């Protein structure tokens, strides 16, 4: 019995030490100035935080956890937590500003003629259709074309075995747990709401941009949605598609 209690004490002690708060500061590599409002994500534990006005932050971390730094206009930073970082707590991270080349933008307004039959053909049309399913929350599925078979494709992606979901998430249940934690963390949600490049999702879920597009396409989301939605909307679309697929296949 004493041996058992001793082992439990060691395990609890190790866990407590490993889960200590890790603090550091983020600065601009060029100017050396502190950077407020930088988002820091612990990709391993799926939690997030943000730097204060002095560029400092505090986040739960343990050795070998991976931290991901994100700030608009700056190159993302990916760091592995070391023992020294946790022990001394005075780490400093520098972020590099990206240089953007602004290209000339030509705005071409619609050239309306005043004739309805001609103007209708020239005006852009959103080809996406959405279909709701009785018994499920009123969210619906979005099909990407006007083909008469579009509705059958939308329902087919739900009622047929979803190989794309099983291949990506079924073989790695931990990824679905990450999805759930991402939707529960306010800092992560706030960051995703400002992102449109899918890079944070790629880092958190450990999948590629092609995987994300394939999931959404098989869930019958339109190309317009895939192109224009922010990362938080993409996260919700993936999560709800998977949830609804599970409901329909119970």
pLDDT (0 to 100) of residue 243:
76
Name, in order, each residue with C-beta under 8 angstroms of 211's C-beta and a sequence gap of 6 or more: 168
pTM of the complete model: 0.65
Span 112-132, mean pLDDT?
A: 59
Looking at the chain, the whole-number percentage of residues with pLDDT higher than 70 is: 60
pLDDT, the chain, mean: 75
DSSP 197: S
Give me 82's structure tokens: 């070391």
The answer to whether 141 touches 153, Cβ cutoff 8 Å, is no
Span 234-239, mean pLDDT?
A: 89
DSSP 125: -
Give me 139's structure tokens: 């969210």
Query: Per-residue DSSP letters for 202-224?
Result: HHHHT--HHHHHHHHHHTT--HH
Long-range CB pairs of 92-95, under 8 A, 24+ apart, other chains included: 92/24, 92/25, 92/26, 92/27, 93/24, 93/25, 93/26, 93/27, 93/69, 94/26, 94/27, 94/28, 94/29, 95/26, 95/27, 95/28, 95/29, 95/35, 95/38, 95/69, 95/71
CA separation for the pair 129, 39 (Å, rounded): 35
pLDDT (0 to 100) of residue 115:
66
Report pLDDT digits (tens) over 13-54: 444 444 578 899 999 999 999 999 999 999 999 999 999 999
**94 forms bridges with which residues in the sheet?**
27
- By C-alpha distance, which of 69, 51, 238 is closest to 162? 238
**Phi and psi, residue 76, nearest 5°:** -60, 150
**Phi and psi, residue 59, nearest 5°:** -150, 150
The answer to whether 129 touches 142, Cβ cutoff 8 Å, is yes
Residue-range domains of the chain with CATH: 2-95 (2.60.40.1120), 116-248 (no CATH)
Residue given tokens 């598609």 in the structure block: 241
Report pLDDT digits (tens) over 173-225: 667 778 888 888 998 999 999 999 999 999 988 888 988 888 888 888 998 99
User: Would you tell me how many other CB atoms lie within 10 Å of the CB of residue 37?
Assistant: 12
- By C-alpha distance, which of 248, 245, 65, 66 is closest to 170? 245
């Amino acid at each position: 019995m004493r041996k058992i209690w001793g082992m439990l004490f060691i395990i609890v002690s190790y866990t407590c030490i490993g889960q200590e708060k890790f603090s550091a500061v983020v600065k601009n590599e060029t100017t050396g100035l502190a950077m407020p409002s930088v988002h820091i994500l612990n990709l391993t534990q799926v939690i997030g935080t943000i730097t204060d006005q002095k560029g400092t932050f505090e986040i739960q971390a343990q050795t070998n956890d991976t931290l991901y730094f994100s700030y608009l206009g700056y190159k993302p930073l990916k760091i592995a937590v070391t023992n020294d970082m946790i022990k001394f707590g005075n780490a400093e991270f520098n972020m590099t500003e990206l240089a953007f080349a602004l290209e000339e933008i030509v705005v071409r307004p619609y050239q309306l003629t005043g004739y309805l039959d001609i103007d209708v053909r020239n005006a852009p049309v959103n080809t996406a259709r959405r279909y709701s399913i009785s018994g499920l929350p009123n969210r619906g599925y979005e099909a990407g074309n006007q083909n008469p078979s579009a509705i059958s494709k939308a329902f087919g992606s739900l009622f047929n075995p979803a190989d794309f979901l099983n291949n990506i998430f079924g073989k790695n249940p931990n990824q679905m747990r990450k999805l759930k934690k991402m939707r529960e963390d306010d800092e992560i949600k706030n960051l995703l709401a400002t992102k449109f490049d899918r890079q944070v999702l790629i880092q958190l879920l450990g999948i590629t941009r092609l995987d994300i597009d394939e999931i959404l396409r098989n869930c019958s989301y339109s190309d317009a949605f895939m192109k224009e939605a922010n990362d938080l909307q993409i996260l919700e679309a993936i999560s709800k598609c998977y949830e609804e697929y599970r409901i329909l296949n119970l």
